[in-house]
A = this chain, B = another copy of it.
Amino acid sequence: MLTSEQTAYLKSCRQRVGMDIVADILPFWLENGLDKENGGVFTCLDRDGTLMDTTKSVWFQGRWGYIASLAAIRLGSEECLDAAASAIDFIEAHCFDKDGHMFFAVTADGKPVQKRRYVFSECFAAIAMAEYSLAAEDPEYAEKAVALFKKIQWMLAEPGFLPPKFDFEARGHSITMMLINVANVLKQVSDDPCLDAQIDRSIHELKTYFMKPEFKTVLEMVGPDGEFIDTLAGRVINPGHCMETGWFILDIAKGRGWDPDLVKMGTTIIDWAWKWGWDEEFGGMINFRDCRNFPPQDYSQDMKFWWPQCETILAGLYAYQATGDEKYLEMHRKAFDYAYKVFPDEQYGEWYGYLHRDGTVAQPAKGNLFKGPFHIPRMMLKAAMLYDEILG
């Protein structure tokens, strides 16, 4: 039961994200990011929206196709629906290599720039197609999304198709958790049994292989049977990633009538991530920790990036909705207030992405091949829905 202060606070949060998504975040990308000549979206934008680099992130063609579709549904924006169609058209025209594996970056007009050994481009393209199918009420894109999802599963299973990064066998947290969310987005438009099967399999793998009670964390990389790899790379904790996994699992739990085992699993992961990631001195979620408390070796280890804050805001809300435990409202409030204190750019709009540990701006660009219209608008659109549900 919410106190009147809590109700007033959540209403103010609802108002802020509801206003910012339509008056700040979407306009920034619609005005500065769209490629009117070739279609799709540019994301390498400087602080004021100036285009710094016309290289196109393939991840972001899909991520933006998904976000713009979601915005079209939630906000009824025709402009967003058109932008989503443009991104998906660009993907289909230019982003697949001959072997069906997608590129990582292409030129403005779609010539290959870089291909990498992962299937994240495919994952983002699949959620774009699924959400667009819903937004445009076009079942053809649901079919395309499911076909691409099955192709992703094939590429991951086919020995030798994706060259391994290391000469030893290992499992990655990223792709395991990502597939839960991709499948869940696709479930909106398809009842193909491969989707729930993947969700169950990913959850099983997270529980069996990646959750480490002895370190109270999810690890980013483990051996094929979950073996602890006692190296700098094997000990990496990415707390923002864990927050994201936590709310992905609670989102599944919600769809299964708040399945108690999944609620327990999701909130455990979130509790652990908060302990490892929240910076009690300066506020905010830091980037990396080492599970044996050695110094993390990623150069950005103590920085504050935009996306772990977004994931923590959502994780707090989902966990509160799942449990009614006030500690999660408090987690949400800390993450929300911190993010809104240091990330929004009052002068040119949108959020900075890369801050020092103390919250000062490390570099002010609004996007690159890794930052663009995804985590922030997703947080705002999903949080708005959760606030409405919680406030009743």
Seen from chain A, the residues whose Cβ lies within 8 Å of a Cβ on chain B are 44, 46-47, 52-55, 103, 111-115, 165-168, 230-233, 294-303, 354, 356, 362-365, 368
Complex Cα distance, B166 from A36, in Å, reads 26
A232/B294 in contact, CB under 8 A? no
Closest to A97 in B: B167
Contacts of A299 in B (CB 8 A): 298-300, 303, 354, 362
Closest to A167 in B: B112
Query: Please, could you name 15 A-B residue pairs with CB atoms under 8 Å apart, sorted by A?
Result: A52-B294, A53-B231, A54-B231, A55-B231, A113-B167, A113-B168, A114-B165, A114-B166, A115-B167, A232-B368, A295-B363, A295-B364, A295-B365, A300-B300, A301-B362
Q: Which of the residues B232, B301, B303 comes within 8 Å of A52, measured between beta carbons?
A: B232
Q: Looking at the assembled complex, report how far the CB atom of A150 sits from the nearest CB atom of chain B, in whole angstroms.
A: 26
Q: Looking at the assembled complex, report how far the CB atom of A152 sits from the nearest CB atom of chain B, in whole angstroms.
A: 22
Known: A46-B294, A298-B299. 19 other contacts (CB 8 A): A46-B295, A47-B295, A52-B232, A53-B230, A53-B231, A53-B232, A55-B231, A55-B233, A103-B167, A111-B167, A232-B368, A295-B365, A296-B363, A299-B300, A299-B354, A299-B362, A301-B363, A302-B362, A356-B356
Contacts of A52 in B (CB 8 A): 232, 294-295
How many copies of this chain sit in the oligomeric assembly? 2
Contacts of A232 in B (CB 8 A): 44, 52-53, 55, 368
Contacts of A168 in B (CB 8 A): 111, 113
Q: Looking at the assembled complex, report how far the CB atom of A298 sits from the nearest CB atom of chain B, in whole angstroms.
A: 8
Contacts of A303 in B (CB 8 A): 299
Closest to A361 in B: B295
Complex Cα distance, B296 from A294, in Å, reads 28
Closest to A367 in B: B297
Q: Looking at the assembled complex, report how far the CB atom of A60 sits from the nearest CB atom of chain B, in whole angstroms.
A: 14
Contacts of A297 in B (CB 8 A): 363, 365, 368
Contacts of A112 in B (CB 8 A): 167
Complex Cα distance, B356 from A299, in Å, reads 10
Contacts of A111 in B (CB 8 A): 167-168
Contacts of A356 in B (CB 8 A): 356
Contacts of A44 in B (CB 8 A): 231-232
